[in-house]
Amino acid sequence: MLLAGTVVADPTTVYEDGAVVVADDRIAAVGERSEVADTYPDHPVREFDLLAPGLVGGHVHSVQSLGRGIADDTALLEWLFDHVLPMEASLDEREMRIAAELGYLELLESGTTTAIDHLSVDHADAAFEAAIDLGIRGRMGKVLMDKRAPEGLEEDTDAALEETERLLQTYHGAADERIRYAVTPRFAVSCTEACLRGARDIADRYEGVRIHTHASENTDEIETVREDTGMRNIAWLDEVGLTGEDVVLAHCVHTTEREREILATTGTHVTYCPSSNMKLASGIAPIVDYLDRGITVALGNDGPPCNNTLDQFTEMRQASLLQKVERLDPEVTPARAVFEMATLGGARAAGFEEVGALREGWRADVIALDTDLTRATPLPDPLSHLVFSAHGDDVTFTMVDGTVVYDEAFGGLQTGDGDRIRRRAREVAAELHE
């Protein structure tokens, strides 16, 4: 298939009249349309306004989707323990499947093709199956909580780690490597030392597995960890093995100089979640400093109860604007830096090779956007448009690994029934509400 349009191939490469050729699950060619079309004269052509690499959601809670709008205007720990975790605990396997489908549907419709997804304690199979079926690229894992967990979510440490290994053996590498496992402790507040060290042990015993957890989002969280361990949160995570090139830490809002050095020297990846950090009043992460230190920064929406959407375009805009006002410097985090977080940075953190840009031989994760819109008029710079003006609503076409998963011209979701997913989600959410 030859996809034609203005092509933003990566943060520094734009072909105004470009084309992307997809063969099987790979990009066979990308460049100026005149050159590409000559080399691939027999491919069927689809015309689009603007083509870009699929975005990477660097920290998502797909299975919290049924809690959109349930707990606005509350702080992290109350929000988590009084609202979000009880909701997660109440979901049975069927409901977890519906929640995950709703999350993946929103991501795929709005141009996110890869998600680092923090599931729940129970029924993780349902989310893995949903990800396999709907066609998203996922780095995902069951949550571990073996202390300070609300009723219904606290686990025995060994049982939790055994369940992690069962899931890992079942799903890691599934769907032609589209699905990969992340060992996923909730956060240091809710995990014993044995649990955290057990997570590291599992990650070391399997090729290509990652560790994904929350870290230093909130000052109360940091204080709780200090009371438990006598250490700052990231120093503690480092102590028990949860730093390194295979680790993704969401948030990292409040970090000391020494903790930042740990992140940089260990090659630990950080996911910036600006809207979530703003809405929960957690604080502003020192992202410019992290970038200056060479830390890989991904970008995440977090979950619908704290965002309240999974639109990564909203998050790109927010990522830039929040750093500019925090630093009182309008030149920091320009469009290209933020677009890199949402594509190549996210893919690096997620541990997917040849993902995050439109390059010959790379995985065919491609999105197309409509720009025949007032909000896109005029459009002097496609990167500026993608970061500061575009909405996920503009996405008309989403391809993951060479498969068209969403196509507005052919009824929307191609890998499931979008109307049915929304209808069932409304029904379940109404029951939960009662």
* Selected binder of a copy of itself within 307, 343, 414, 415 (CB under 8 A): 307
Checking 81-84 for CB contacts under 8 A at 24+ apart, the result is 81/150, 83/305, 84/303, 84/305, 84/306
Task: Tell me the two tokens of residue 7.
Answer: 């092509």
Interface characters, 55-74, with a copy of itself (x: CB under 8 A)? ----------xx-xxx-xxx
Question: By CB under 8 A, what part of segment 93-132 binds a copy of itself?
Answer: 102, 105-106, 109-110
Shortest gap between Cβ of 259 and a copy of itself (angstroms)? 20
Tell me the HSE value of 225 on the side-chain side, using a 13 A CA sphere: 23
In the list 7, 298, 335, 341, the residue contacting a copy of itself (rule: CB under 8 A) is 335
Q: Which of 1, 89, 132, 278 binds a copy of itself (CB under 8 A)?
A: 278
By the rule CB under 8 A, 279 interacts with a copy of itself: yes
133-136 contact pairs (CB < 8 A, 24+)? 133/415, 133/416, 134/101, 134/104, 134/105, 134/108, 134/405, 134/413, 134/415, 134/416, 135/108, 135/178, 135/400, 135/401, 135/403, 135/405, 135/415, 136/104, 136/107, 136/108, 136/112, 136/178, 136/400, 136/405
393 touching a copy of itself, by CB under 8 A:
yes
230 belongs to the binding site for a copy of itself (CB under 8 A): no
Please, which residue, 282 or 414, has the CB nearer to a copy of itself? 282
CB 147 to a copy of itself: min, Å: 25
Query: Do the beta carbons of residue 99 and residue 129 sit within 8 Å?
Result: no
Nearer to a copy of itself, 157 or 389 (CB): 389
Label the pairing between strands 179-185 and 210-215.
parallel
* # chain residues binding a copy of itself, by CB under 8 A: 68
- Please report whether residue 291 would count as binding a copy of itself according to CB under 8 A: no
- 16 to 45: interface string for a copy of itself, x by CB under 8 A: ------------------------------
Tell me what percent of the chain is helix, strand and coil, each rounded to the nearest 5: 45, 25, 30
Name residues whose C-beta falls within 8 Å of residue 158's C-beta, 6 or more positions apart in sequence.
none
Interface with a copy of itself, residue 86, by CB under 8 A: no
Is residue 209 a contact partner of residue 184, using CB atoms and an 8 Å limit? no
- Interface with a copy of itself, residue 83, by CB under 8 A: no
Q: Contact with a copy of itself (CB under 8 A): which of 329, 353, 360, 408?
A: 329
- Which range touches a copy of itself (CB under 8 A), out of 167-175, 200-208, 226-234, 416-424? 416-424
Q: Per rule CB under 8 A, is residue 422 in the interface with a copy of itself?
A: yes
From candidates 23, 45, 75, 159, binder to a copy of itself by CB under 8 A: 75
**325 touches a copy of itself (CB under 8 A):** yes
351 binds a copy of itself (CB under 8 A): no
Using DSSP, how many helices (H) and how many strands (E) does the chain show? Answer: 18, 17
Q: State yes or no: residue 14 binds a copy of itself (CB under 8 A).
A: no
Question: Which residue bears the tokens 């029904």?
Answer: 427
d(CA 357, CA 348): 11
Q: Which is nearer to a copy of itself, 75 or 159 (CB)?
A: 75
**Burial (Cβ within 10 Å: 0-12, 13-18, ≥19) of residue 57:** buried
* Site membership for a copy of itself, residue 5 (CB under 8 A): no
For residue 371, CA distances in Å to 5, 407, 408 come to 11, 16, 14
Residues forming beta bridges with residue 413, ordered by sequence position? 406
The two structure tokens encoding residue 55: 């975005």
The answer to the question of residue 227 lying near a copy of itself (CB under 8 A) is: no
Nearer to a copy of itself, 194 or 332 (CB): 332
State how far the Cα of 223 lies from the Cα of 317, in Å rounded to an integer: 31
Least Å from the CB of residue 119 to a copy of itself: 19
Rounded Cα–Cα distance for residues 27 and 278 (Å) = 38
* The dihedral sign for the CA sequence 266, 272, 273, 277: positive
Q: How far is the CB of 69 from a copy of itself (least distance, A)?
A: 4
Q: Which residues bind a copy of itself (CB under 8 A)?
A: 65-66, 68-70, 72-75, 79, 102, 105-106, 109-110, 275, 277-284, 307-311, 314, 317-318, 320-322, 324-325, 327-331, 334-335, 372-375, 377-381, 384-385, 388-389, 391-393, 418, 421-422, 425-426, 429-430, 433
